[in-house]
Amino acid sequence: MVTKIVIVGGGSAGTITANLLARNLYKNITSGKVIINLITDSPDHIYQPGYLYVVFDKARPEEITRKQKDLLDPHINLFIDPAVNIDRDNRVVVTKSGREFDYDYLVVATGSRIVPEDVPGLQEGSYWFYDMQSAIRLREALMNFNGGKIMISMGIPHKCPVAPLELTFMLYDFFKQKDMLNKVQLHYTYPINSVHVLEPVSNWAVREFERKGIKYDTFFNMEEIDPVKNVISSMEGDKFGYDMLITIPPHKGAQVIEDSGMGKNGWVPTDKKRLFNANYENVYVIGDTTDIPISKAGSTAHFQADVVAERLTSIISEGNTSIEYDGKVVCFLESGFDEATYIWFNYNTPPNPSPPSRMLHWMKLGYNRLYWLTARGIL
């Protein structure tokens, strides 16, 4: 009997899982007992945290892009053909070209996507940096910015909860380097009544904002943008004018999730420790697309991929497993161009940011390169 594993989504979570499984199950694969099929929708794999560096001209697009096939163990079958339906009852994934992939175990790793169209006026009035094209567009706009007020605002949910702060602190250093701080007012807004969801991070960021003269407002959930008058309004009734608006649009999960009836807005109900889909123990869900109340981050995707690869390896080779995900997330957070801080937490341990340092900044830069080893399942 052949055991078929299908992984949908070739981003961080899907790629790491596939590579770890290929290594763990090498003998089963070469003897024809296990098949791993990875279905994704792009030939390129982009290291998304790199977008932030593209904005400030500190990384070129090609530096943060690799061919997906070059990242995969040769024992994995790669199909660049988006999934259009996932039928969990009949254990089959159907792709755009009409191919059907049946499976014994499925790993759903389709990530999240921005939906700027959900906020009226956002597409016309705002810059963002959550895909390559928009990061390049923002880079050009910043190069040509002559001064004025820059508003930074975000929708919920969004992936990478540290990115808004990183962007703000990097904007500060960008204008400092250009001797433009006297001409630029940065104004940061946040959806809840602190400047970050994690209280220790928020306390630290407020001190930094005050020291740097960065204005901030809380309980600000963007409702509408007037791209002609350059005004952003919130659900809470506040209105602010701006010269440049940079946002993180709200996110949803992949369309295929909703189309397959697997979860509203593309978020799949997931067991927070064992990482399978409610009622379908052979369907694992990892990375941004889970509905687990935890950061949508690359490190979350990475640690969950480790757990699912180990679980599947044990189940396939020994028939059982006790391995669980403890909610671990690790994030480096740039506090400007030269320094970074670092947080880690899990389901039971709250974060405690370390003081920003140059060394942590170098570690983040180092990890930006080492990511390619992580994706290959080596680090």
Task: Closer to another protein by CB, 120 or 351: give it.
Answer: 351
Q: Are 71 and 372 in contact (CB under 8 A)?
A: yes
Member of 6, 9, 190, 325 binding ligand FAD (CB under 6 A): 9
> Does residue 352 interact with another protein by CB under 8 A?
no
Report CA 192 to chain centroid distance, whole Å: 20
Q: What are phi and psi of 338, to 5 degrees?
A: -115, -15
Residues between 164 and 193 that touch ligand FAD (CB under 6 A): none
DSSP codes joined into one string, 290-355: B--SS---HHHHHHHHHHHHHHHHHHHHHS---------EEEEEE-SSS-EEEEEE-SSS---PPP
> Does residue 51 interact with ligand FAD by CB under 6 A?
yes
> Does residue 336 interact with ligand FAD by CB under 6 A?
no
Question: Which part of the chain contacts ligand FAD (CB under 6 A), choosing from 106-114, 118-126, 230-238, 355-363?
Answer: 106-114
State whether residue 258 is helix, strand or coil.
Answer: helix
Question: Which part of the chain contacts ligand FAD (CB under 6 A), choosing from 105-113, 140-148, 268-276, 351-359?
Answer: 105-113
Task: Closer to another protein by CB, 148 or 350: give it.
Answer: 350
> Does residue 237 interact with another protein by CB under 8 A?
yes
CB of 253 to another protein, least distance (A): 13
The token pair at 9 is 């989504």
User: How many secondary structure helices (H) and strands (E) does the chain include?
Assistant: 11, 22
β-pair partners for 127: 246
Task: Could you list the beta-strand ranges (E) of 11-161.
Answer: 34-40, 44-46, 65-67, 77-80, 83-87, 92-95, 100-102, 105-108, 112-114, 148-154
Member of 152, 201, 256, 262 binding ligand FAD (CB under 6 A): 256
State whether residue 87 is helix, strand or coil.
Answer: strand
Member of 76, 111, 371, 374 binding ligand FAD (CB under 6 A): 111
Member of 187, 196, 251, 296 binding ligand FAD (CB under 6 A): 296
**Residue positions counted in the chain:** 379
Question: Which part of the chain contacts ligand FAD (CB under 6 A), choosing from 47-55, 146-154, 205-213, 316-324?
Answer: 47-55
Task: Closer to another protein by CB, 293 or 319: give it.
Answer: 293
Partner in contact with 241, chosen from another protein, ligand FAD, none, beta carbon below 5 to 8 Å by kind: none
Q: Are 336 and 174 in contact (CB under 8 A)?
A: no
> Does residue 42 interact with ligand FAD by CB under 6 A?
yes
Member of 236, 259, 281, 338 binding another protein (CB under 8 A): 236
> Does residue 219 interact with another protein by CB under 8 A?
yes
Residues between 281 and 320 that touch another protein (CB under 8 A): 293-295
Q: Are 274 and 311 in contact (CB under 8 A)?
A: yes
Upstream peptide bond of 157 is cis (omega within 30 degrees of 0) = yes
> Does residue 265 interact with another protein by CB under 8 A?
yes
Task: Closer to another protein by CB, 37 or 221: give it.
Answer: 221
What lies within 8 Å, CB to CB, of 67 at 6+ separation is: 43, 44, 45
Residues between 134 and 153 that touch another protein (CB under 8 A): none
Q: Which single residue brings its beta carbon nearest to ligand FAD?
A: 11
- Torsion angle of C-alpha atoms 72, 76, 80, 86, degrees rounded to 10: -120
Q: Are 157 and 300 in contact (CB under 8 A)?
A: no
Q: Are 23 and 76 in contact (CB under 8 A)?
A: no
Question: Which part of the chain contacts another protein (CB under 8 A), choosing from 91-99, 105-113, 188-196, 302-310?
Answer: 188-196
Partner in contact with 197, chosen from another protein, ligand FAD, none, beta carbon below 5 to 8 Å by kind: another protein
Residues in the site for another protein, rule: CB under 8 A? Answer: 156-157, 161, 191-193, 197-198, 219, 221, 235-237, 265, 272, 293-295, 327, 329, 345, 347, 350-351
- State the residues that interact with ligand FAD by CB under 6 A: 8-14, 39-42, 48-49, 51-52, 82-83, 109-111, 129-130, 159-160, 162-163, 254, 256, 287-289, 296-299, 301, 331
